[in-house]
């Protein structure tokens, strides 16, 4: 037995970049604040599997699909032999590991493409912006979540397989994916490192990362408040409908709340009750009132123009006609973690003062990426 190069450099680079992207993609699922990183890692994984498919045809011996083209039954039979401790050793991928590779490649494809559809529908961003409605993109979001969870399952199985195999054949499989070498019989197929191709891959990965973050991250939002709260995504979707009459009639006392935040029955009730509007008489004439209602109805929450309108509508019962956005169950749920001190701070004062925390409140988009809770001025401590 002699040490021989089995995994060429591009295969190893592919493997470990995929591992890091996978972990990173999971870590960035919690908040839209990290969406730019999450989306970049998704595109990167799609690029990586594109490369892997090419490399499966053009690459070196052990990287080629022909060297590990086993059916699912062979994979199961091999797994059984592993448990019976009669499994033969494979220098390249064993039949069970091969099955995991094919399933993972497929799952990444499904997760990546469904992710781009979700992004296009829900956030109005990315390559598929405007391709489908928010409601249609919800189906793809399901696919995205299911495929990501299945991936986690297959990865766990893969890790268990690596550990078991390493014990059964008394060799460190994880280390050989780092060094590339394994002990083989003399005369086993040889592999060329392919350093040039690996270097090209590295340049492409780093270059695309640089390009993505240069264009995707909006620093203007930070500059507006003189804060830096980490990466967030630019809004590049179609701007929501705007109306000068609405702005002038409804924007003098508070933010001219965008109609997508309440259903049309609420706008109808608000305008019908305009003479007793939260203690004020709006004194609108009939024509103005009708024009405002027309604008509100065509852009209301039931038209599902934004993620917020979809979720507000879904949180209401058909009979509910809230007169306040701040009384809709979705709004209440989204803001339940804000403390009384934060609501009462000088910068906020009222729940209805959306613009204090949402930099895009005026446009009506309410993206997480544009959300900030203003720092509460420290109350001076009583002297001791
Ligand atoms: C004369 C001042 C004034 C004008 C003009 C005005 N509002 Fe208001 N509006 C108020 C006050 C006061 C409140 C209560 C604010 C609070 O609770 O902090 C309010 C609250 C609201 C709320 C509820 C906000 C929440 O808590 O979710 C909506 C919706 C609303 N107004 C819509 C409109 C619309 C639509 C127009 C234009 C047709 C309009 N307002 C014009 C004074 C006004
Ligand atoms: C004190 C700050 C503050 C004020 C004022 C405020 N919000 Fe928010 N809002 C937040 C925070 C924080 C979140 C994010 C909660 C989370 O992490 O899920 C949020 C989330 C939201 C979301 C969900 C965004 C998404 O895509 O998940 C919507 C919609 C929203 N706010 C609308 C409003 C509207 C409309 C108003 C005014 C009537 C308002 N907010 C006033 C702090 C505020």
Mean pLDDT to the nearest integer, 310-336: 95
| CA–CA separation, 231 and 222 (whole Å) | 10
Q: Is the pLDDT of residue 132 over 90?
A: no
- Ligand 1 centroid – CA 327 distance (Å): 13
Ligand 2 atom nearest to 356, measured from its CA: 5
Mean pLDDT of 81-110: 95
Task: Report how far residue 179's alpha carbon sits from residue 112's, in angstroms, rounded to the nearest whole number.
Answer: 30
- pLDDT of 260-284, one tens digit each? 999 999 999 999 999 999 999 999 9
Tokens coding 5 = 């190069």
pLDDT at 193 over 50: yes
Q: Which of 278, 328, 330 to mutate to test the pocket of ligand 1 (most atoms within 8 A of CB)?
A: 278
List pocket residues of ligand 2, CB cut-off 6 Å: 261, 307-308, 325-326, 331, 334-335, 338, 342, 348, 351-354, 356-358, 366, 368, 371, 373
Average pLDDT rounded to a whole number, residues 215-240? 64
Q: How far apart are CA 222 and CA 359, in angstroms?
A: 10
What would the two tokens of residue 204 be? Answer: 């492409």
Residue bearing tokens 């804000």: 338
CA dist list (Å): 11 to 21, 32, 67, 115, 191:
15, 32, 14, 25, 11
* Cα distances (angstroms) measured from residue 382 to each of 164, 318, 341, 346: 63, 52, 18, 20
Give dist(CA 101, CA 94) in Å, integer.
11
Provide the pLDDT for residue 222: 58
Pocket of ligand 1, beta carbon within 6 A = 249-250, 252-254, 257, 270, 277-280, 282, 292, 324-326, 350-352
> Mean of the pLDDT values across residues 37-48?
95
Q: How confident is the model at residue 135 (pLDDT cuts 50, 70, 90)?
A: confident
Grade residue 375 by pLDDT with cuts at 50, 70 and 90.
confident
**342 CA distance to ligand 2 middle (Å):** 13
Supply the pLDDT for residue 230: 57
Q: Which of 44-53, 165-174, 298-307, 372-381 has the lowest mean pLDDT?
A: 372-381
Q: Rounded to whole angstroms, how far apart are CA atoms 334 and 231?
A: 21
Percent of the chain whose pLDDT exceeds 90: 74
Query: Measured in angstroms, how far is the CA atom of residue 262 from the centroid of ligand 2?
Result: 14
Per-residue pLDDT of 199-212, as tens digits, reads 999 999 999 998 88
Q: What is the Cα Rg of the chain in Å?
A: 28
Mean residue pLDDT of the chain comes to 90
Q: Specify the pLDDT at position 225.
A: 56
């Amino acid at each position: 037995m002699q040490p021989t190069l089995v995994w060429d450099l591009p295969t190893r680079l592919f493997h470990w970049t995929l591992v890091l992207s996978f972990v990173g993609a999971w870590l960035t699922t919690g908040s839209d604040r990290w969406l730019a990183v999450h989306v970049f890692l998704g595109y990167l994984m799609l690029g990586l599997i594109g490369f892997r498919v090419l490399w499966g045809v053009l690459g070196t011996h052990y990287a080629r699909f022909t060297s590990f083209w086993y059916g699912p039954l062979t994979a199961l039979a091999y797994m059984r032999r592993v448990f019976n401790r009669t499994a033969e050793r494979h220098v390249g991928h064993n039949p069970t590991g091969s099955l995991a590779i094919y399933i993972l490649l497929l799952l990444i494809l499904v997760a990546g493409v469904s992710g781009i559809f979700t992004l296009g529908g829900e956030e109005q961003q990315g390559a598929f912006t405007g391709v489908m409605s928010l409601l249609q993109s919800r189906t793809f979001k399901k696919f995205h979540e299911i495929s990501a969870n299945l991936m986690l399952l297959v990865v766990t199985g893969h890790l268990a397989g690596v550990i078991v195999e390493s014990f059964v054949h008394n060799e460190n499989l994880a280390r050989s994916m780092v060094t590339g070498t394994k002990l083989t019989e003399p005369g086993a197929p040889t592999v060329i490192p392919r350093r040039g191709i690996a270097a090209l891959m590295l340049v492409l990965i780093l270059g695309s990362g640089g390009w993505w973050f240069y264009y995707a991250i909006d620093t203007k939002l930070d500059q507006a408040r003189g804060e830096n709260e980490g990466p967030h995504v630019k809004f590049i979707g179609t701007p929501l409908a705007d109306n000068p009459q609405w702005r002038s009639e409804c924007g003098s006392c508070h933010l001219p709340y965008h109609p997508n935040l309440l259903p049309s029955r609420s706008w109808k009730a608000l305008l019908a009750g305009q003479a007793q509007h939260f203690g004020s008489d709006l004194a609108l004439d009939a024509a103005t009132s009708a024009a405002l209602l027309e604008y509100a109805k065509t852009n209301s929450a039931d038209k599902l123009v934004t993620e917020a309108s979809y979720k507000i509508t879904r949180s209401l019962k058909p009979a509910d006609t809230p007169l306040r956005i701040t009384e809709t169950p979705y709004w209440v749920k989204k803001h339940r973690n804000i403390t009384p001190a934060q609501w009462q701070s000088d910068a906020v004062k009222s729940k209805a003062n959306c613009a204090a925390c949402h930099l895009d409140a005026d446009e009506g988009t309410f993206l997480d990426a544009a959300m900030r809770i203003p720092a509460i001025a420290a109350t001076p401590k009583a002297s001791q």
